[in-house]
Amino acid sequence: MSFSVRPALTEDLPAITSIYDHYINHSVATFRTKRVEPSVLLDTYRSAQNSQHPFLVAVSHEGTEIVGYAYVSGYRASHPAYWHTVELSIYVHPNHLFGGVGSRLWTALEDALRQRNCALVDDKGHSPSLDERTSPGATPIRHVLSVMALDTEGSEGGYGLRDWYVKRGFVQKGHLEEVGYKFGRWIDTIILQLTL
C-alpha cells in the first residue's frame, strides 16, 4: 500500500480517534481503559499546535483513509525546565501494521522537529538560551522520549517494539516493572530517549 505523510487537520480527528480506540480496547500500547471522545484528541491536537510541535498523519494515496498518526507532546509541560523534552506517540491502523507506516511517520516527525529547531535560530546563528524561553513553542527540542508498554504477548515478548526504537537511534534509559494493570495482568514500561 502506498501512502503519504502530512500535517494532521481537525477533520482527521474522527479517524485518529478510531485508531486510538482500537489500541485502548485491544492492546496495552496505551494504559487508557475506556474509549475517548474526539474532544480529548482535539485538546491534544490543539496543544501540539500551540506548542509548535508536529502532529502528523499517514494517508492512503487515494486520500480516503488515515492509516496512522504520530505526534509529540510536552514532557511534564507545566514545568518550563522540561520544555526542551517531548514524548512521542505513534499509532498505526491495525490493518496496516508492518507496512512501513510507523517508520515513515517517525522519519517525518524527526525531520519536522529538526526543522523546527533550525527555525528557532536567529540570523546570527543563535538559538534562545534556556533562560530566554518564553513558551514551549520558542524552545528548541533536545530530547524525544518514548514510554512504551512491554507487551509480553507482542513481538519477541514485547521487545520487538523496543528494538524498533533502538534501530532509529533511541537508547533504553529505564525499565519500570509492573507499573500498569490492564486486561487482568501487570505490565512493565520501558523508557527510551533520543537526543536530537
Q: What is the pLDDT of residue 21?
A: 96
Amino acid at 56: L
- Each residue's pLDDT, cut to its tens digit, for the chain (196 residues) gives 689 999 999 999 999 999 999 999 999 999 999 998 888 899 999 999 988 899 999 999 887 799 999 999 988 888 888 888 999 999 999 999 988 999 999 999 999 998 887 766 665 555 555 555 556 666 788 899 999 999 888 778 889 999 999 999 999 999 999 999 999 999 999 999 999 8
User: For residues 189 and 147, is the Cβ–Cβ distance under 8 A?
Assistant: yes
In whole angstroms, what is the distance from residue 59 CA to residue 40 CA? 22
Q: What is the pLDDT of residue 104?
A: 96
Q: What is the pLDDT of residue 113?
A: 92
* Among the listed residues 48, 39, 38, 40, the one whose alpha carbon sits nearest the alpha carbon of residue 7: 48
HEC sequence for 85-129: EEEEEEEECHHHCCCCHHHHHHHHHHHHHHHHHHHCCCCCCCCCC
- ∠ CA 184-189-194, nearest 5°, is 155
Q: What is the pLDDT of residue 137?
A: 64
Q: Residue 88 CA to chain centroid, in angstroms?
A: 3
Domains and CATH numbers, the chain: 3-195 (3.40.630.30)
Q: Residue 61 CA to chain centroid, in angstroms?
A: 22
